[in-house]
Homo-oligomer: A and B are copies of this chain.
C-alpha cells in the first residue's frame, strides 16, 4: 500500500509521470491529478484526472529509477549492471560492497538482488543525492556511506568498484572478500583496465575482462536492421577470490 512520500508512476493516455504520493497535484495536458488519492492505493489502481483521463498506478521498478532518478553524473548502463550481477552470480544470500556510489543507480539494482548492500562514495554531496534515490526506491537493505573505500571493513561476497581504481583498491577488495567471492571493476579507459588486471593477477583467480557492445535492432516497414549506432561504455573485469 502506497504511503505518503512514496514515489509512484502514473501511466496512461500515452503519458507517464513519476510523482510523489501525498498532498498536491500534478498538472498535465490530460488534466490535473490529485496526488493525495495515491496514498493507500495499490499497483494497478486507476487514478482519474479532474478532466476524466484515466491513469494506472505503478510502483516504480529499478528500471524506472534508472530513467527518473536524480543523477550526479553518467550512471552505469543497465547492460553493464546486468553483466556484474550475472558474472558474480549476485543473489539473495549476498553481502555486497559497492564503491563509487555515484547517483546510486547500481546500488538500487544490487539492493533488489542481494541480501544487503553497503555503498561507499568519497564525495559527500554525491552520497547525499544517492541516499535520496535509494530511499525513494524503498530499499531498507542498502546503506549509503560517505567515506573512502580504503577505510571500509567487513566481509562481503561481492565487491564492486566504479571509481578511479588504484592497485591498493584491488588489494583492499581482496581482503574484504569471502573465499569464492567476486570482485567486479568497471573502467571506462583501457589504461585503468590494465591497472586492475595487473593488480588482480597473483592475488585473484579467474580474472576476465569483458566488453559488451550493445546494439538495438530496429524493425520498420522498410525492414529489419541494426541501429546505425552502437553503444560502448567501458570494460568490466571480474576476478574471484
Are the CB atoms of B235 and A59 closer together than 8 Å? no
What class of interface size applies to chain A in its complex with B?
A: 35 or more
A111 to B113, CA, bound (A): 10
Contacts of A228 in B (CB 8 A): 231-233
Tell me if A22 is interfacial: C-beta within 8 Å of chain B.
no
- For chain A, what secondary structure do more than half of its interface residues adopt (helix, strand, loop), or is it mixed? mixed
* Contacting pair A223 B112 (CB below 8 A): no
Q: Hey, which chain B residues are within 8 Å of A89, CB to CB?
A: 61-64, 66, 109, 112
Which chain B residues lie closer than 8 Å to A163 at the CB level?
Answer: none
Complex Cα distance, B224 from A197, in Å, reads 11
Asked if A193 is at the interface (CB within 8 A of a chain B CB), the reply is yes
Cβ B87 vs Cβ A85 within 8 A: no
Are B215's CB and A232's CB within 8 A? yes
Residue ranges of A at the interface with B (Cβ–Cβ < 8 Å):
9, 11, 43-44, 56, 58-59, 61-64, 66, 78-79, 81-93, 109, 111-113, 157, 178-180, 182, 188-194, 197-198, 208-217, 219, 222-235
**Can you name 5 A-B residue pairings with CB atoms under 8 Å?**
A11-B180, A61-B88, A82-B86, A90-B112, A198-B219
